[in-house]
Amino acid sequence: MTRPRSEGSRTATSPPPSASLRAPRGRGLKEQLIRGLFLLCGLSAVAITLLTAWTFVQGSLLFFREVSPAEFLGSIRWAPLTVPQSYGVLALIADTLVITGIALLVALPLGILSAVFLSEYASERARRLLKPVLEVLAGVPTVVYGFFALRFVTPLLQGTVLPDLGFWNGLSAGIVMGFMILPLVASLSEDVLYAVPRSLREGAYALGATKFEVIWKVVLPAGFSGIGAAFILAMSRAIGETMIVALAAGRTPAWPPDPTEPMMTLTTTIVNIATGDHEATAFIWSALFAIGLLLFVTTLVLNIASYFIVKRYRERYE
């Protein structure tokens, strides 16, 4: 705001040598205010995170007064609505991990191989064209993925390799969830591979390495920690995913966790009770908060782990 004025005076006549070098009145205060405003915006993300954490801790206090964390985490049976009630999430954790595992099994090889293709084999033009297409996959609403799993993948599997597959099952949900996190894995891995310095590749080529040897023995190992970070982020995304599993995996915890059977993840459990027409007591709500807290802590830990892995990777070439 002050620019036109000061420039105007400068072009009209250059200021006399005795002109004051002091700031105009109020400038300092304005700068302070602006700084404060930005600080506030920056802090809001932190505040929201802390508030969320606090809400979950507060909300689950009632639950943990009755049920010990050992029983919560160590018991298999989740039955908050039937007598005798039981609040074990071990089966839910197992189901969550199995579905996440299936998703990663689909997304990791596909994602890393697409990343290798985009970064090493595709022409610059193909790369510029394909990468946005891949990222479009990330923008598909998860409810669409869920419906796709339920109405397309499950019938497809039933009609071909697994005739006994349940209408609801963990397998289709896991596979489709793999498609959902594929762009995340591919895009992050591609960035990592593309960032491996050219000089490293040339060093390997100059020793008589083939293109495959350069990729397999130099580029991929150099990008290993970055790909590891992508893996962890994808995992935390898969653990927190709700809509696909709610639609396609069912609402019954499977123990032992068999992906051809209906499965219930931690997230579906919350959806199930929070949206169901059962009369949920304050205590059951508190149990949901406990599950929420578990999810929150898990994904937080995974995200922090990925942050440190990425940081370590960055230090490598600088």
**Under the rule (CB under 8 A), what is the footprint of another protein?**
124, 197, 199-210, 213, 217-218, 221-222, 316-317
Q: Do 217 and 139 meet the contact criterion of CB atoms below 8 Å apart?
A: no
Helix (H) or strand (E) holding 95: helix 90-116
Least distance in Å: CB of 216 to another protein?
10
Across the strands, what pairs with 113?
Answer: none
Least distance in Å: CB of 186 to another protein?
23
Q: Give the angle subtended at the CA of 276 by the CAs of 275 and 279, to the nearest 5°.
A: 115
C-beta closer to another protein: residue 24 or 221: 221
Backbone angles phi and psi of 216, in degrees to 5: -75, -35
What residue has token string 């009630």?
85
DSSP SS3 for 110: helix
Least distance in Å: CB of 308 to another protein?
18
C-beta closer to another protein: residue 124 or 164: 124
C-beta closer to another protein: residue 278 or 316: 316
C-beta closer to another protein: residue 149 or 218: 218
Least distance in Å: CB of 134 to another protein?
22
Within 8 A by CB and 6+ apart from 282, the residues are 62
Q: Do 213 and 141 meet the contact criterion of CB atoms below 8 Å apart?
A: no
Least distance in Å: CB of 184 to another protein?
25
Backbone angles phi and psi of 78, in degrees to 5: -110, 105
C-beta closer to another protein: residue 155 or 203: 203
